[in-house]
Amino acid sequence: MSPRSTKFIFVTGGVVSSIGKGLSCASIGALLEARGLKVTALKLDPYINVDPGTMSPFQHGEVFVTDDGAETDLDLGHYERFIGMKMSRANNFTAGQVYETVIGNERRGDYLGGTVQVIPHITDEIKRRVIEASKGFDICIVEVGGTVGDIESQPFLEAIRQMRADVGPENALYIHVTLVPYIRAANEFKTKPTQHSVKDLLGYGIIPGLIICRSESPLDDKLKKKISLFCNVKENCVVNAYDVSNIYEVPLVLNREGLDERIVEHLNIWTGAPNLSAWQKIVDAIRSPRHGIVTIAMVGKYVELTESYKSLTEALHHGGIANDCDVRIVYVDSEEIERIGVEPAIRQASGGSAAGIGVDALLIPGGFGCRGSEGKISAAQYAREKRIPFLGICLGLQMAVIEFARNKSGITAATSAEFDPNAKHAVIHIMETQKSVQRKGGSMRLGAYPCSLKKSSLARKLYGKDEISERHRHRFEVNNDYREALEKAGLIFSGLSPDKKLVEVIELKDHPWFIGVQFHPEFKSTPRSPHPLFAGFVRAAMEQRNRAPSAGAAAPGDAQPNGSAEKSSSARSPQMSINDLLEKASSPT
Helix axes 395-407, 373-385, angle to 10 degrees: 70
**What is the DSSP code (8-state) at residue 290?**
T
Q: Is 86 in the site for ligand GLN (CB under 6 A)?
A: no
One of 190, 196, 281, 475 touching ligand GLN (CB under 6 A)? 475
User: Which of 116-144 are b and which e, b meaning 16 or more Cβ less than 10 Å from the residue's Cβ?
Assistant: eeeeebbbebbbebbeebbeebbbbbbbb
Q: Smallest distance, Å, CB 520 to ligand GLN?
A: 7
Closest to ligand GLN by CB, 29 vs 69, is: 69
| DSSP codes joined into one string, 147-176 | -TT-GGGHHHHHHHHHHHHHH-GGGEEEEE
Other Cβ atoms closer than 10 A to 234: 11
Closest to ligand GLN by CB, 366 vs 495, is: 366
One of 19, 210, 395, 553 touching ligand GLN (CB under 6 A)? 395
Alpha helices in 87-122 (DSSP H): 95-108
Closest to ligand GLN by CB, 208 vs 366, is: 366
How far apart CA 202 and CA 195 sit, in angstroms, is 11
* Strands (DSSP E) found in 180-244: 182-183, 188-189, 210-215, 238-242
Q: Is 394 in the site for ligand GLN (CB under 6 A)?
A: yes
CA-nearest of 486, 488, 529, 492 to 513 is 492
Q: Is 451 in the site for ligand GLN (CB under 6 A)?
A: no
Q: Smallest distance, Å, CB 377 to ligand GLN?
A: 14
One of 121, 214, 474, 524 touching ligand GLN (CB under 6 A)? 474
Q: Smallest distance, Å, CB 66 to ligand GLN?
A: 15
520 is catalytic: yes
How many residues comprise the chain? 589
522 is catalytic: yes
Q: Smallest distance, Å, CB 16 to ligand GLN?
A: 31
Other Cβ atoms closer than 10 A to 439: 7
How far apart CA 229 and CA 231 sit, in angstroms, is 6
How far apart CA 354 and CA 228 sit, in angstroms, is 57
CA-nearest of 25, 167, 134 to 83 is 25
Closest to ligand GLN by CB, 242 vs 368, is: 368
Candidate ranges 227-235, 248-256, 295-303, 468-476; the one touching ligand GLN (CB under 6 A): 468-476
Closest to ligand GLN by CB, 326 vs 504, is: 504
Interacting residues with ligand GLN between 402 and 441 (CB under 6 A): 418
Interface with ligand GLN (CB under 6 A), residue total 10
266 is catalytic: no
208 touches 230 (CB < 8 A): no
Encoded one letter per residue, x for contact with ligand GLN by CB under 6 A and - for no contact, window 349-378 reads: -----------------xxx----------
Catalytic residue among 213, 522, 531, 566: 522
Q: Smallest distance, Å, CB 311 to ligand GLN?
A: 12
Q: Smallest distance, Å, CB 26 to ligand GLN?
A: 24
How far apart CA 215 and CA 578 sit, in angstroms, is 7
Residues that bind ligand GLN (CB under 6 A): 366-368, 394-395, 418, 473-476
Active site residues: 394, 520, 522
